[in-house]
Amino acid sequence: MAAKSIISRPVYGTLSPQPGKHHLFIADAEGALAIAEMAGRAPPGFFDDAEIVFIPGLDGKHAVALEALKPAQLHLAPSFASLLPRLRQTLANAHMGLRVYLAGTEGLIGQAMQVALEAGIDHTSIQTEHRGSLARRMQCVHCKGITENVTTQPATCAHCGLLLLVRDHYSRRIAAFQGVCINAEDRSEIPPMEEIFR
């Protein structure tokens, strides 16, 4: 199903340099390319007061493109969970004029958006750009567990093992799509898995 047909899914834009006293970038994988492209439209010195937090993924590429921007701070993190304490601390110490830029996968954008809003950052100070995989972050409605990087339909819950239909309903509150047991009536009915969220 095309992204535009999912009413509950957030609408993502294109990063553009905004006036502000401090710029915080949070990205994963191809999200680095969105930042690098935006840098080409930014005024001189834009990254002098910028902090970039980047999750490079397994291949580690694109970090060099971010280093070339010469931000005030560049932090590489292995996962969103590992950068969460730093992100919360940065947002807790933020002053007026902070601009937040989120780029990369939908899972990263949704989770980082939650943290920023919880910290009191106004939604008009946050920009997003989706880049890379369409893999979904899925919540099992039965056990409430979250399974990351779901690419198949149906998918297996990483917590309770149920076979789930990955619904197109996106919950902004938990930054995940909902997964419901696909064979609740007869567990022996196991439909074939297809990779459809790439």
pLDDT tens-place string over residues 34-93:
999 999 999 999 999 999 999 997 777 899 999 999 999 999 999 999 999 999 999 999
C-alpha span between 80 and 104 (Å, rounded)? 12
100 and 163 together in one domain? no
89 and 108 together in one domain? yes
Q: How many domains does the structure of the chain reveal? A: 2
141 and 190 together in one domain? yes
C-alpha span between 179 and 14 (Å, rounded)? 29
Phi then psi for residue 63, to 5 deg, are -65, -35
The confidence score (pLDDT) of residue 3 equals: 47
Whether the ω angle into residue 154 lies within 30 degrees of 0, i.e. cis, is yes
The confidence score (pLDDT) of residue 163 equals: 97
- pLDDT: is 166 or 4 the higher one? 166
Containing 110, the helix (H) or strand (E) segment is helix 106-118
- Looking at the DSSP bridge assignments, the partners of residue 28 are 55
114 and 164 together in one domain? no
**Where would I find the beta strands (DSSP E) of the chain?**
22-28, 50-55, 73-76, 98-104, 126-130, 136-140, 146-150, 152-153, 155-156, 163-171, 176-181, 194-195
Domain boundary pick from 73, 99, 130: 130
In a domain, 88, yes or no: yes
106 and 157 together in one domain? no
In a domain, 164, yes or no: yes
In a domain, 168, yes or no: yes
pLDDT for 91-106, tens place per residue?
999 988 899 999 999 9
Rounded to the nearest angstrom, the gap between the alpha carbon of residue 45 and the centroid of all alpha carbons in its chain is 27
Between CA 120 and CA 84, with CA 82 as vertex, the angle to 5 degrees is: 5
Contact by Cβ (8 Å): 118, 129: no
Percent of the residues in the chain that have a pLDDT greater than 70, as a whole number: 97
74 and 23 together in one domain? yes
C-alpha span between 112 and 118 (Å, rounded)? 10
142 and 100 together in one domain? no
The confidence score (pLDDT) of residue 172 equals: 85
In a domain, 83, yes or no: yes
Structure tokens at 171: 């919950």
32 and 117 together in one domain? yes
